[in-house]
A and B are shown apart, each in its own frame.
Chain A
Amino acid sequence: QKEVEQNSGPLSVPEGAIASLNCTYSDRGSQSFFWYRQYSGKSPELIMFIYSNGDKEDGRFTAQLNKASQYVSLLIRDSQPSDSATYLCAPGQLTFGSGTQLTVLP
């Protein structure tokens, strides 16, 4: 079993829809969780971080964490074509998921 698994995608949603990205992790000791966005040919950049169980909202983005289920998700509301990118989940600094490629169709 991989340490970090993400829905493999690619995921396509129409403009204005909600995009849901999921991630499960195996290390029960993980305390901090990060979502990075990576545009093609560019380096990853932080979108959200979450430390506590529950939801954390930042603009159109909501991160959800359930440590008991070892599950973290990212919801993107009112998806825009500019959100088209690969989204990487990272529990901590040393391991990353393989990413989910999101395409938002105009």
Chain B
Amino acid sequence: DAEITQSPRHKITETGRQVTLACHQTWNHNNMFWYRQDLGHGLRLIHYSYGVQDTNKGEVSDGYSVSRSNTEDLPLTLESAASSQTSVYFCASSPGGSGNTIYFGEGSWLTVV
């Protein structure tokens, strides 16, 4: 079955370290997204991509970067982890077009100490 997977599922890292969260989907979806979810804020968009070599900043992109070198993967990098980036991170994908359902990965719990 096609799916979307995130790794690692849980990670503890130290302030200032670079961290990469992986996201891989096998649906061949053009659109991929990274969100973070914090209590009281719901889901907030970090970065998104509408295809290979396309990346766009979301509402809370500061301190994060992404690259899209193929259809299947959209890794999220925290350049220098900060305690404010402790959160749950969800990767998601959808077929092309802005009116399609989003399918979420299982989430990555990141703690920055």
Q: Measuring CB to CB, which residues of chain A are less than 8 angstroms from any residue of chain B? A: 31-32, 34, 42-46, 49, 51, 88, 90, 92-99
Contacts and interface: CB of A to CB of B under 8 A. Distances in A.
A93 B98 contact: yes
Interface string B44-62: 1100100000000011000
Contacts of B33: 93-94
Given A32-B99, A34-B102, A49-B101, A96 B94 contact: no
Interface residues of B, number: 23
A44 B33 CA distance: 14
17 contacts: A31-B98, A32-B99, A32-B100, A34-B102, A43-B105, A44-B43, A46-B102, A49-B101, A88-B42, A92-B99, A94-B45, A94-B98, A97-B42, A98-B40, A98-B41, A98-B42, A99-B42
A75 to B, nearest CB: 20
Closest 10 pairs between A and B when the two form their complex, measured CB to CB: A98-B42, A32-B99, A43-B104, A96-B43, A96-B42, A46-B101, A99-B42, A44-B104, A94-B45, A43-B107
A94 B58 contact: yes
Interface string B73-107: 00000000000000000100010001111101111
B71 interface: no
A31 B43 contact: no
A44 B31 CA distance: 17
Contacts of B94: 93
Contacts of A51: 99
